[in-house]
Amino acid sequence: MSIGDWRLKTEDWGPWLCIGLLLASCARAPKPKTPQTAPVTAPSGPAGALVPLPALVEIGPGQYFTITPTTVILANADPAVRRIAADLAERIRRATGITPDMPAVWADLFAGPVVELVVQADAAALGDEGYDLSIGANLVSVKARTPAGLFYGVQTLRQLLPYWGEYEAVMFRQPRPATLPAVHIRDAPRFPWRGAMLDVARHFFSVDEVKRYVDVLALHKMNRLHLHLSDDQGWRIEIRTWPALTERGGQTEVGGGPGGFYTQAQYADLVAYAAARFVMIVPEIDMPGHTNAALASYAELNCNGQAPPVFTGTDVGFSAMCVDKDVTYRFIDDVVGEIAGLTKGPYFHMGGDEVKTLTPEQYRGFVERVQTIVQAHGKQMIGWDEVAATRLSPTSIVQHWRPDAAHGELGRAPHLILSPGNRAYLDMKYDRDTALGLNWAGFVPVKTAYDWDPATLVPEASAAAILGLEAPLWSETLANIRDVEFLALPRLAAIAELGWSPVATHDWESFRLRLGAQGPRWTAMGINFYRAPEIPWRQ
Ligand code: TNX
């Protein structure tokens, strides 16, 4: 049975759920349409625990799997695979009090239950990020062509384990064996670009705070974290050839707080932390507008040679680099060069949005010159959708954000990332009572964030041009990671599902019930998510 018709078959799944997930209350499978006031259950069957929904979920022919003190994890010697296996072992320990052995050699000696993690170079059908997970009485098998696919298979497994495995320190007086439902899942993402953006410029977030956000992305199989590293209110990354950027430009933020910045070593640590979770950091230095922090740090970047004061308000559009001066391009070359050297991925985002003080000709000339610089440092350029009005080379990428951007131009973009403000902007308020966030693109309740199709949003764009989607979170109103989490979740999970799950499975009723099932897990992770009243949160 494919997951597309799971709702028709929920009665078949009820017994498995009862055994597999140890829920006492489900002698009869619940109907998916749970009234908001009734006690809450997710859709029956293993899929009820999963966000994003896998492409194919079949109820296994065999028995559920029990994790016991004799359970072993088999993984080959590849360091990436060993790391994934060690992570799984730790999650199992937290969920059960049992630490599975990870023997260094494969053997047929294991009579007890086995969890195997297998990278199969010839599993071409699974693609770059797909996996196959089957759970039977004595064997849990995760197979993939790449470590990334294996990682996503393990994230699915993680959502099938008891939620209390997300607590950092669970102490068990004695092991508490857990079961996993008998199931076969074959899964691969719909889009290669499943991103989030965090604005660390308007307010600064520490390395540890950003790592927490990376953890949330990885759990939901997202694979890009775009960092907005500079804006009018702050410059957040050390540039050795232009030290005042952080010595002066990094010391402020919206509201006048102390700001902050990442040293290059800290940034490299963040890149490595994210990469270990298959999240690529995409750096953005916004230009020629949104540059007051840089202009305040170096007088020569200004046309009049005078540095403006630092800025701690929230206006946009007033600042611009002096596009007619050579020093501007020497500066950009140095900045792009240093950041490119720290960046594993092939992308550099140059911003390009909301410039109100340049002529269209000045703007076009600037973007095209920056595109050349970015490429000279071996990177592909990304820009906000204003850059669609310039001559872009075939490798460049346009990030669509303005709901009213000209579709004709977007349709000509070589590549597109979709972040429509009225759907994907996590800094829009949920409704008029939301204390944090903005509302220039309207209110964005969870259903609005979920109920759209990236493939048809810009009818003029060819399917091949659409890389995927990204959920930006701008931080004018967000002082710390708790505020970030409140606006991000649950909507980030909606964007994750749009990026991962096949369009044929799109179903708000199914999604909201599965979302409700994430509540205990997110709570155990300490996430300050918004308990949207339309979602049946499980206690
Ligand atoms: C527009 S989105 C901006 C940001 C603001 C954001 C607030 C974009 C490319 N520019 O400068 O922070 O709106 O939602």
Task: Give Cα 508 distance to the centre of its chain.
Answer: 20
Q: Ligand 1 center to residue 92 CA distance, Å?
A: 41
Residue 425 Cβ contacting ligand 1 at under 6 Å: yes
Phi-psi region of 228 (alpha: psi -120 to 50; beta: other; left: phi over 0): beta
Higher pLDDT, 273 or 22: 273
**What distances in angstroms separate CA 289 from CA 322, 353, 363, one per listed residue?**
10, 7, 10
| SS3 of residue 350 by DSSP | strand
The pLDDT score that the predictor gives to residue 27 is 33
Q: Is residue 510 scored above 90 in pLDDT?
A: yes
Residue 401 Cβ contacting ligand 1 at under 6 Å: yes
Q: Is residue 374 scored above 90 in pLDDT?
A: yes
**What does the pLDDT average to over 117-145?**
94
Residue 474 Cβ contacting ligand 1 at under 6 Å: yes
Mean pLDDT of the chain: 91
**Smallest CA separation from ligand 1 atom 6, residue:** 474
| SS3 of residue 227 by DSSP | strand
Burial class (CB in 10 A: 0-12, 13-18, 19+), 192: middle
Specify the ligand 1 atom closest to the Cα of 438.
Answer: 14
Residue 354 Cβ contacting ligand 1 at under 6 Å: yes
The pLDDT score that the predictor gives to residue 108 is 58
**What does the pLDDT average to over 167-180?**
85
Contact by Cβ (8 Å): 282, 293: no
Give the mutation target among 232, 315, 354 for probing the ligand 1 site: most ligand atoms within 8 A of CB: 354
Specify the ligand 1 atom closest to the Cα of 428.
Answer: 14
- Tens digit of each residue's pLDDT (9 = 90 or more) over 426-472: 999 999 999 999 999 999 999 999 999 999 999 999 999 999 999 99
256-292: b or e for each residue (b if 16 or more CB lie within 10 Å)?
eeebbbbeeeebbebbebbeebbbbbbbbbbbbbbbb
Residue 470 Cβ contacting ligand 1 at under 6 Å: no
- Active-site residue, 354 included: yes
**Smallest CA separation from ligand 1 atom 9, residue:** 353
Residue 269 Cβ contacting ligand 1 at under 6 Å: no
Residue 442 Cβ contacting ligand 1 at under 6 Å: no
Q: Ligand 1 center to residue 227 CA distance, Å?
A: 13
Specify the ligand 1 atom closest to the Cα of 199.
Answer: 12
The pLDDT score that the predictor gives to residue 450 is 98
Specify the ligand 1 atom closest to the Cα of 354.
Answer: 10
Residue 438 Cβ contacting ligand 1 at under 6 Å: yes
Residue 427 Cβ contacting ligand 1 at under 6 Å: yes
The pLDDT score that the predictor gives to residue 238 is 98
The pLDDT score that the predictor gives to residue 60 is 79
Handedness of CA 113, 117, 123, 127 (dihedral sign): positive
Question: In this structure, what token pair is assigned to residue 349?
Answer: 């985002």
Specify the ligand 1 atom closest to the Cα of 401.
Answer: 2
- Tens digit of each residue's pLDDT (9 = 90 or more) over 9-24: 333 333 333 333 333 3
Specify the ligand 1 atom closest to the Cα of 476.
Answer: 12
Give the mutation target among 400, 419, 474, 487 for probing the ligand 1 site: most ligand atoms within 8 A of CB: 474
Residue 384 Cβ contacting ligand 1 at under 6 Å: yes
The pLDDT score that the predictor gives to residue 6 is 35
Q: Which of 116, 300, 354, 368 is catalytic?
A: 354
Q: Which of 354, 346, 348, 318 is nearest to 474 (CA)?
A: 354
- Tens digit of each residue's pLDDT (9 = 90 or more) over 40-81: 334 567 889 999 999 999 987 778 999 999 999 999 889 999
Q: Give the range among 35-49, 300-314, 375-389, 472-486 with minimum mean pLDDT.
A: 35-49
Q: Ligand 1 center to residue 362 CA distance, Å?
A: 21
- Tens digit of each residue's pLDDT (9 = 90 or more) over 352-364: 999 999 999 999 9
Q: Ligand 1 center to residue 474 CA distance, Å?
A: 7
The answer to whether the predicted template modeling score (pTM) of the entire model surpasses 0.75 is: yes
Distance CA 11, CA 342 (A): 53
**Smallest CA separation from ligand 1 atom 13, residue:** 474
The pLDDT score that the predictor gives to residue 109 is 61
Residue 18 Cβ contacting ligand 1 at under 6 Å: no
Which residues of 463-534 form beta strands (DSSP E)? 466-473
- Tens digit of each residue's pLDDT (9 = 90 or more) over 97-113: 999 999 876 655 666 79
- Tens digit of each residue's pLDDT (9 = 90 or more) over 384-404: 999 999 999 999 999 999 999
**Smallest CA separation from ligand 1 atom 5, residue:** 474
Q: Ligand 1 center to residue 160 CA distance, Å?
A: 37
Specify the ligand 1 atom closest to the Cα of 474.
Answer: 12
Contact by Cβ (8 Å): 137, 16: no
Distance CA 374, CA 381 (A): 6
Residue 318 Cβ contacting ligand 1 at under 6 Å: no
**Smallest CA separation from ligand 1 atom 10, residue:** 353
Contact by Cβ (8 Å): 402, 421: yes
- The 3 state secondary structure assigned to 519-536 is HHHHHHCCCCCCCCCCCC
Q: Ligand 1 center to residue 445 CA distance, Å?
A: 19
**What does the pLDDT average to over 152-160?**
97
- Tens digit of each residue's pLDDT (9 = 90 or more) over 518-527: 999 999 999 9
Handedness of CA 474, 477, 481, 485 (dihedral sign): negative
> Which amino acid does the sequence have at 419?
S
